[in-house]
Chains A and B, each alone.
Chain A
Amino acid sequence: MTNNNKTRRITLTQFNGGMILTKYHVLAGPEGYLPPAAACQGIRLPEVGWALIEGRHVPEQEALSAIVDKLLSAKRPFFFPGPNLLWEWKDGVAEKASALRKLADTAGARVIPMPDYRPKYPMINPAIEINPNHPNLTIWHNKIDVCVFAGVHCHYANVALKIIRGGTDCYTIAICGEAGHEDANITLRNAGIPQIEALTAMVAERRRLC
């Protein structure tokens, strides 16, 4: 196991009415083969209006700022839009997809799509697509240090985020329209166009000031 440093993942074990609560930090990897699901380490999904940064519950605004920091300090930030945003399967998707693309472009990030979840074994082209069965190939091949998941169905996002945490040092961000992802290093929940536009405005403002 290549758990890469210190005692940083599990910092505190405390008793609470007989139950052991483990403070697990959802940090960038590589954590090694088969990292535990963050949920199994006691990480709970955020409440509405809240988010998670490395497993810590924080107000959404704090997570938005942290996402901007990560995007702007990244060497090679990439966005991975999933099927929910690549295919115009219901009203409102096109607008959300446009907002997300604007954020990616404003942040100077590249985009690699996840059009479906086929493993495409053994011939995926990691330069132009990513899939949840071996997302590490796309991360490694494109030397991605920060990535953003959006529009990927919950269970596939969880699998992919865990594989990335296990095998790479890429920092993962989930702009999740549902309940959030414990396995991402930063996750929003119920993220819609307002949150995405807020991120775009913050990125643009920070770039203007630099």
Chain B
Amino acid sequence: MSKAMFKMTTAFADVMPAEYVELVQSGPFGQGYGVADLGSFKELIEEHPLCAGCGLALAVRLIMASLPTPEDTVVVGSTGCSSLAFPQIALQNIHSLFGNQNAVASGLKRALKLRFPDKHKDVLVVAGDGATADIGLDMVMHSWSRGEKLATIMLDNEAYANTGGQESGMSPEGCVLYMAPTGKKFKKIALPEIARESGCAYVASVTPVQPRKLEKAVRRAILVAREVGPTYVQIFVPCPTNFKFKPQETLAKAKQREKDQTYPLREFITPEAQAYLAALEGGGKHD
């Protein structure tokens, strides 16, 4: 996107809504901000309709603050709770049919490469666990095995939250939900390992408990996807509404899962991606 896109014509500047004026005057475009700068710039997400204490909302906010070049990023989302936040986000984003997100993103990335051959246009998939590990798993895995240069982020609340709490492949064994009253009979899918074996050059699982770690994973995933190959980041985003805990307990829940190793934090990097990151991160501001 040209930086001129962020300059208002003076003729109508007086009627532009305040949020756009703030985005132009103190937004993140072209600034290289990161999560450490939160609170000092106008964020890409203005307001959202997600539940109080929603871990997914926090993760989306952190992801938006972690983008290396938001002005050249397009997010492809899917149906689920996050799709209610994206209409409010001041970033190019496409809502795809549930499960189709990695197929849509593959086409988009290829088209952007043809249209802007000399520029990095980051295509970031952000979708729920149901969309990523269940209904869209075929699109996800095929995009990985085709080597599409996409960063895929899963917002893992371990349930189909938006439809009232069905179990997903990512729900842990024994998990009881509104619509899984007898408890899940199978193990949580090991998608980070599957991603590693399916051609992802960079894989991480993180939680919003450590925002800098989350930022680092998101940035690495985006940077590696520019040059090396597909990448995958799985973020644990506890859901107070479906898991019946208080909104203020969200981070404590995530911390507990980190601590007792029931949500293990992982990072897999191929040697090629490692070399690429080492070269880049030598002088990186936020890494």
Contacts and interface: CB of A to CB of B under 8 A. Distances in A.
Contacts of B7: 87-89
Contact of B5 (A89, A94, A122): A89
A94 B6 CA distance: 13
A116 to B, nearest CB: 8
B10 interface: yes
B103 interface: no
A87 B10 CA distance: 9
27 contacts: A81-B12, A86-B9, A86-B12, A87-B4, A88-B8, A88-B9, A89-B2, A93-B9, A94-B11, A97-B10, A98-B9, A98-B11, A100-B11, A101-B12, A111-B15, A112-B15, A113-B12, A113-B17, A115-B16, A118-B89, A121-B49, A121-B84, A123-B49, A123-B88, A125-B17, A128-B15, A128-B17
A100 B9 CA distance: 12
The 10 A-B pairs of least Cβ separation, nearest first, read A97-B9, A97-B11, A101-B11, A119-B87, A98-B11, A88-B7, A121-B87, A111-B15, A88-B9, A94-B9
Interface string A96-124: 01101100000000011101101111110
Contacts of B15: 111-113, 128
Interface string B198-209: 000000000000
Interface string B1-40: 0101111111110011100100000000000000000000
Given A113-B17, A120-B87, A123-B47, A88 B12 contact: no
Kindly name the residue among B8, B15, B20, B88 whose own CB sees the greatest number of chain A CB atoms within 10 A. B15
Contacts of B47: 123
Contacts, number: 67
Given A94-B9, A111-B15, A123-B49, A88 B4 contact: yes
B29 to A, nearest CB: 12
Contacts of A6: none
Given A94-B9, A94-B10, A118-B87, 15 more contacts: A86-B8, A86-B16, A87-B6, A87-B7, A87-B8, A88-B9, A89-B2, A89-B7, A97-B10, A101-B11, A113-B16, A115-B16, A115-B17, A118-B89, A118-B90
Interface residues of A, number: 27
A86 B84 CA distance: 26
Given A89-B4, A90-B4, A120 B12 contact: no
Nearest to A123: B47
A47 interface: no
A115 B84 CA distance: 20
A129 interface: yes
B41 to A, nearest CB: 19
Interface in B33-61: 47, 49
Interface string A144-186: 0000000000000000000000000000000000000000000
A168 to B, nearest CB: 21
Contacts of A125: 17
A143 to B, nearest CB: 18
B49 A122 contact: yes
A85 interface: yes
A97 B12 contact: yes
Nearest to A121: B87
Contacts of B84: 121
Contacts of B90: 116, 118
Contacts of A112: 15
A22 B12 CA distance: 41
Interface string B86-124: 011110000000000000000000000000000000000
B50 to A, nearest CB: 12
A98 B8 CA distance: 12
Nearest to A133: B87
Contacts of B16: 86, 113, 115
